[in-house]
Amino acid sequence: MNLRILLLPFTAIYYIIIYIRNKFYDIGLFKTYSPGVPVISVGNISTGGTGKTPTVILLAEQLINANKRIAVISRGYKRKTNKSLLVFDGAKILCGPDECGDEVYMIAEYFKNQKNVIIAVGNDKYETAKYITAKFKPDVIILDDAFQHRKIARNIDLVLLDMNDIYKNKFSNSYVLPAGNLREGLRNLNRADIILKNFKFDISKESKDFDNYCNEIYNINYHYHSINSDKAENIIIDKPLIAFCGIAKPDSFFLALEDKGFRIKEKISFKDHFEYEKSDIENLIKYYSDDISFITTEKDFIKIKHFREFTDKYPVYYLKISVYFEKGFDKFQNTIFKLF
């Protein structure tokens, strides 16, 4: 028996609270506020990794290519600070991953040579957005993980769904927390302007699932981009691998490597947003021999690369991925650029 069934009474309470909160926003009892520039929200309706970070990067790239000045604003999940922070000011990265969160730092690293990008974190996204808008005057704001943050008015609500998890775990994707994994009931997908059904590294399945919630729905996958290190890109690895990661769904990472023909000698998974300590690195080193290499995710590599005794001395690489639209990307772009 799934022991989470025992939590259903608490799920009912949580559902009622979320329902009332959403209803108050719908009828205007709770107010929404505009920061004065177009806003694109990237979010999800469930817990766990659905692909928000690579989608934020994709959106930002498209807007930069259109000569737009963008601001990315996030809560900075699992960061060790509570105050609002300017992470990247268009010239340099101003804090570390422990202060702003690993995913936000990854975005900052990605755009560290882009002067038209501003990145900030804050528990109150609206106050952070007001500050960023006044100080930097962006053309558009991308809100990371904001589908439930309804205080900020948005022009486009984009929601990601992890389709592999939905098909695999029917129970947890049918109920809200704590018995299930949903942050709010599925009916609230009606608020979405765009739904991205993420099949990650698997082949997309043609289905009508969720089509009744939204008029603009796309299938996306993760595209294998390259194997990199701190010193080089597009590295070719011909040795067996010790694969390790601290992400919500580690199997997708391991399967991606196997699908590309890499030989995995050992799979090591840590909890999501894992904070590596020296002892963890020392334990990883124990697996080393001359005939193997280490590989991890880009997000994890950002968190371990300051352990120079590991990344300098041993062959430690990371998998770089990007988001791929199977079809309809031109239509998706048109929807985004209608904001301007």
pLDDT of residue 277: 95
pLDDT of residue 1: 46
pTM: predicted TM-score of the whole model, two decimal places: 0.93
Residue ranges in the chain assigned as alpha helix (H): 8-27, 52-65, 97-100, 102-110, 125-136, 163-168, 250-259, 278-285, 298-304, 308-311, 329-337
Decide if 3-221+324-337 and 223-321 have a common fold: yes
Residues 6+ apart with CB under 8 A from 78: 101, 102, 273, 275
Domain ranges for the chain: 3-221+324-337, 223-321
pLDDT of residue 249: 86
Distance CA(293)–CA(170), nearest Å, equals 37
Distance CA(288)–CA(242), nearest Å, equals 8
pLDDT of residue 131: 95
pLDDT of residue 330: 97
| 240's tokens | 């067996």
Q: What is the mean pLDDT of each run of 10 residues along the chain (340 residues)?
A: 84 97 97 96 94 96 97 93 94 95 95 97 94 97 97 97 93 95 96 96 83 94 91 92 94 90 96 94 96 96 94 96 94 96
Which of 209, 177, 221, 137 is closest to 18 using CA atoms?
177
Beta bridge partners of 319: 227, 297
Task: Find out whether 325 and 218 touch, Cβ atoms under 8 Å.
Answer: yes
Using the 8-state DSSP alphabet, how is residue 247 labeled? S
pLDDT of residue 252: 86
Distance CA(51)–CA(253), nearest Å, equals 12
Q: CATH code for 223-321? A: 3.40.50
116 SS3 class:
coil
Angle, nearest 10°, between helix axes 52-65 and 329-337? 70
Which class does domain 3-221+324-337 fall in?
A: alpha beta
